[in-house]
Structure 1
Amino acid sequence: MKTKTTFNWDFLGISSATICLIHCLVFPVLTIIPLGISHNPLIDLLFASVGFFAVIKIIKKSDLLISSILILSLTLIIISILIEIIVDIHTYLIFIGGIGMITGHYLNYRSHKKTQQ
């Protein structure tokens, strides 16, 4: 009997958004310590691109509420990163977007878990 395993995009999205959120919360504290670490918004862009692929795969099969939460959250993250790159101002939009991404992926995971049982 063959078992078919599928890659769960929700786990990738939750993991990426959680690591990004931890990075965004902890990194400002690390810049206070004189270690010579400077912030690079390209790291945030890397997390956003991983989240982008997860969101694209998920919105094709999810309902309107979950798709809206994920798209709005990703938009907030990208806007925050662009503001940071262009004018070097750190906004709280990235935190709101990160929490929204985690919430959207979790809701999607729960809705799929209910339908599979």
Structure 2
Amino acid sequence: MKNSEVKKTTTPYDILGISSATLCLIHCIIFPLFALIPFGFSDDYIVDTFFACIGMLVVSKILMSNATSTVKIILGLSIVIIVISVLLEIAFDIHSGLIFVGGIGMIIGHFLNFKSHIHS
């Protein structure tokens, strides 16, 4: 597979990954503030599950590409951390800070992968 073909196939996933990870991180930071204000918002794991599913789709596509090992490790670990955090929330109602670590890792991993397309 030519390098230009890889750019065409993984660049949209990087953009989707950066966007969804950023939105997820914003959701995770802002939503607890809304919960403090009595607007009737309650924490809902469905949104976190939605973002985790998008992340798994995007990361699986990049893991199957010829992205660098560093990018694959960062993205793989990040999605595992996010999924663990969501499962803790669903099963035990534990809201851990792991989702922040995973979200930041996803942004960094996708940014590095996107950046590698520009330089190649």
Give yes or no for TM over 0.5: yes
Q: 1:110 aligns with which of 109, 112, 115?
A: 115
Deviations 1:59-80 (A, max 9, x none): 1221111000000000000000
Deviations 1:54-105 (A, max 9, x none): 1111112211110000000000000000001111011000000000000000
Using the size of structure 1 for normalisation, the TM-score is: 0.91
Residue 81 (structure 1) aligned with residue 81 (structure 2):
no
Q: CA RMSD in A?
A: 1.4
Using the size of structure 2 for normalisation, the TM-score is: 0.89
Residue 59 (structure 1) aligned with residue 63 (structure 2):
yes
Percent identity (aligned): 50
Q: Which has the higher helix share?
A: 2
Q: Which amino acid aligns with 1:20?
A: C
Q: 2:35 aligns with which of 25, 31, 34?
A: 31
Aligned residues: 112
Shift of 1:106: 0.1
Shift of 1:109: 0.3
Q: 1:98 aligns with which of 103, 107, 115?
A: 103
Q: Which amino acid aligns with 1:50?
A: I
Shift of 1:45: 0.6
Cα separation, 1, equivalents of 2:60 and 2:119: 22
